[in-house]
């Protein structure tokens, strides 16, 4: 690693941090969807959503240099979105367990907590001012949209496996996929002039996958599924649409954390010169 005016790639957050954003975003999105729609998919959606959020938190725990000091994450809720995420998680899992056990009144609070968890995640990266690919405000709505899209995509996967057809859910899924694509284009435009060359290349590679696989392919498969009356073919198309949306979103987050995270380099607006007085 070299430090200086040229951008360099950060190494503090790796695949484990990406795993937190992938699992936490997908899981919280799925919990919101599961809280909105009923059985028989809801119970599986709740279990899988909680498992994904938990797996994401395990990933970030593994990333900590001293895992036994993980409780320190609760020390800075006034300034840290990661601390706020941790506090929301303390309420999310008990409420999720109540919903799993059949207390239907717990589903609405669970959906609110899942949204709060996803929002905390969406604010973490923009709070990192030194990395142009992360600090853009346009990243927050993109992270929210992709979490909801992946959660709805996992709902499609579960529904197809259980041979349950939700026409309304398919329509919502297609709308979310399109919304995510719109936010991706807004985000990409917002960071264009700030990115290092390699950061731009990494984002563009994952962006092409997000567009081709995660948007066009997912919408096409879901649309074909809507045209069919049901049966194995419709379930297979629904499954493919969900997997395409999830896979493209996960790849984007992985690339964003591990490939596009180039520091801006040192910004020296005034270079001191010996013997020359500079005014403040």
Structure tokens at 152: 């709805």
| pLDDT value, residue 1 | 47
Q: What is the residue-level pLDDT of the chain in tens, covering all 280 positions?
A: 455 567 778 888 889 999 999 999 999 999 999 988 767 788 999 999 999 999 999 988 877 666 666 666 777 787 888 889 989 999 999 999 999 998 989 999 999 999 999 999 999 999 888 899 999 999 999 999 999 999 999 999 999 998 887 788 899 999 999 999 999 999 999 999 888 899 999 999 999 999 999 999 999 999 999 988 888 899 999 999 999 999 999 999 999 999 999 987 666 566 666 666 655 5
- CA dist 65 and 14 (Å) reads 12
Within 32-88, strands assigned E span: none
In contact, 195 and 7? CB cutoff 8 Å: no
Peptide bond into 40 cis (omega under 30): yes
Report how far apart the first and last C-alpha atoms of the chain are (Å, whole number). 33
Q: Is 213 exposed, middle or buried (0-12, 13-18, 19+ CB in 10 A)?
A: middle
Whole-prediction pTM: 0.89
Structure tokens at 98: 């109540």
Closest CA to 57 of 26, 32, 95: 26
Closest CA to 67 of 59, 76, 56: 59
- CA dist 168 and 150 (Å) reads 16
In contact, 265 and 6? CB cutoff 8 Å: yes
| pLDDT value, residue 151 | 96
| pLDDT value, residue 80 | 85
Closest CA to 163 of 40, 42, 45: 40
Q: What angle do CA 23, 24, 28 make, to 5 degrees?
A: 115
| pLDDT value, residue 65 | 62
Domain ranges of the chain: 15-258
Is 15-258 a CATH 1.20.1630.10 domain? yes
| pLDDT value, residue 79 | 81
Residues 80-110 as b or e (16 or more Cβ within 10 Å = b): bbbbbbbebbeebeebbebbbeeeeebbebb
Closest CA to 245 of 174, 160, 162: 174
- CA dist 142 and 164 (Å) reads 29
Q: What angle do CA 64, 116, 27 make, to 5 degrees?
A: 65
Residue 166: other Cβ atoms inside 10 A: 17
- CA dist 42 and 63 (Å) reads 32
């Amino acid at each position: 690693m070299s430090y200086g005016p040229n951008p360099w790639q950060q190494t503090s957050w790796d695949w484990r941090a990406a795993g937190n954003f992938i699992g936490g975003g997908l899981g919280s999105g799925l919990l919101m969807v599961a809280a909105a729609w009923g059985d028989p998919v809801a119970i599986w959606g709740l279990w899988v959503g909680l498992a994904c959020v938990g797996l994401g938190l395990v990933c970030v725990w593994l990333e900590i240099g001293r895992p036994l000091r993980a409780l320190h994450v609760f020390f800075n809720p006034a300034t840290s979105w990661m601390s706020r995420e941790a506090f929301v998680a303390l309420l999310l899992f008990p409420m999720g367990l109540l919903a799993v056990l059949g207390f239907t009144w717990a589903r609405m609070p669970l959906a609110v907590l899942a949204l709060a968890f996803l929002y905390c995640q969406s604010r973490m990266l923009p709070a990192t001012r030194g990395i142009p690919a992360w600090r853009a405000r346009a990243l927050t709505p993109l992270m929210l949209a992709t979490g909801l899209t992946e959660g709805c995509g996992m709902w499609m996967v579960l529904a197809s496996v259980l041979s349950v057809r939700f026409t309304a859910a398919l329509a919502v899924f297609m709308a979310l996929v399109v919304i995510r694509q719109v936010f991706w284009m807004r985000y990409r435009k917002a960071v264009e002039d700030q990115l290092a060359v390699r950061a731009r290349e990494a984002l563009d590679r994952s962006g092409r996958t997000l567009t081709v696989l995660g948007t066009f392919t997912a919408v096409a498969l879901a649309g074909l599924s809507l045209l069919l009356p049901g049966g194995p073919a419709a379930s297979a198309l629904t499954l493919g649409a969900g997997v395409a949306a999830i896979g493209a979103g996960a790849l984007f987050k992985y690339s964003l954390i591990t490939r596009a995270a180039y520091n801006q380099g040192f910004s020296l607006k005034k270079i001191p010169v010996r013997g020359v007085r500079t005014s403040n």
